[in-house]
Amino acid sequence: MAAELDWRRGKAGFAALLGPPLGWFILFFAVPLAVVWAYSFGVNDGVADIRISGTFANYGRALEPLYLGILGKSLAFAALATLICLLVGFPVALAISFATPAMKVALLIGVMLPFWTNLLIRTYALIALLRDEGLINRTLAAGFGWAGFEPLAMMNSNFAVMVGLVYVHLPFMVLPLYAALDRLDRSLIEAALDLGAGHVRAVLTVVLPLAAPGIAAGLLLTFIPVLGSYLAPDLLGGPDSQMIANVIERQFKRANDWPFGAALAFMLLYLTLIGIALQAAFGRRRGEEQ
């Protein structure tokens, strides 16, 4: 009660602390987002002017089969990349959670190290690996040149895009998985092993259910940025590898059709909000069951 009274008496101090970040959020996030949202209901009026007319034509155009097909392909790419990140990231997070303290720090630094390098540089590093004259093909040619080895055509393909998406977004899966696995009660795993369960069965029946919140968070944190990715498809993919974010980028830059680009962007935002709502409902339901 005393703490509650202190907060009530300290409204001015609380407002002083909240004011700057709230003002920053409104000025540099909420207001620009509202402007772009308003653009999605507008039409081009001349070369550089946009008239907000309240039309839903841009959203109707976004629902045309062409753009729905690109959105569906983007969802499929994002789902596959997220699944690969889960399959690769879960063993990594499990190994980190059971490592010694010193090794745990080193492994976590290794997971976060790519964040210290610009995304564009990391993507060009993948190009150096995957291109016809890249490191992978040169290595294979040196080892199998006697057998008439031909360079593997990896660039400008869906394979290259998937490699880029997984490489960039894997840490978004590993870190929430590690946070969930590191808090597990190890005695439950030891009890399962003592009762005759093998390591695989212990992971499937004990670790996975207990780590479900971390898995759900990892899936959401990975799927959303993958769905909005445009650099990997643009630099690593071919004409058939373009995702919805590439279409949005072209509307704003090349086509100069900001209202339609805004409508496409907010279609992604609506899907994101739906995903967050589903994740929150899953967490609330799980909490009620426990």
Long-range pairs, 109-116, Cβ under 8 A, ≥24: 111/171, 111/174, 111/175, 111/178, 112/171, 112/175, 114/167, 114/168, 114/171, 115/171
Give the CATH class of 78-242.
mainly alpha
Q: What is the pLDDT of residue 153?
A: 85
Question: How many angstroms separate the CA atoms of 183 and 181, rounded?
Answer: 5
Q: What is the pLDDT of residue 46?
A: 67
Question: How many angstroms separate the CA atoms of 228 and 75, rounded?
Answer: 10
Higher pLDDT, residue 141 or 66: 66
For 40, what's the count of Cα atoms within 13 Å in the CB-facing half-sphere?
20
Q: What one-character-per-residue DSSP string does 170-230 give?
A: HHHHHHHHHHHHTTS-HHHHHHHHHTT--HHHHIIIIIHHHTHHHHHHHHHHHHHHHHT--
Segment 86-103 mean pLDDT = 91
In tens, the pLDDT along 197-222 reads 777 888 888 888 888 888 988 998 99
Q: What is the pLDDT of residue 288?
A: 65
Segment 8-34 mean pLDDT = 82
Q: What is the pLDDT of residue 158?
A: 92
In tens, the pLDDT along 49-70 reads 788 888 899 999 999 999 999 9
Q: What is the pLDDT of residue 286?
A: 65
Residue 250 CB neighbour total at 10 angstroms: 16
Q: Which helix (H) or strand (E) holds 43?
A: strand 42-44
Question: How many angstroms separate the CA atoms of 159 and 280, rounded?
Answer: 33
The rounded radius of gyration (Å) of the Cα atoms in the chain is 24
- Nearest Cα residue to 91 out of 173, 169, 161: 173
Q: What is the pLDDT of residue 1?
A: 45
Q: Where is mean pLDDT largest: 19-23, 55-59, 277-281? A: 55-59
In tens, the pLDDT along 244-268 reads 999 999 998 888 889 999 999 998 8
The residues spanned by each domain of the chain are 78-242
% of the chain beyond a pLDDT of 90: 43
Question: How many angstroms separate the CA atoms of 103 and 170, rounded?
Answer: 20
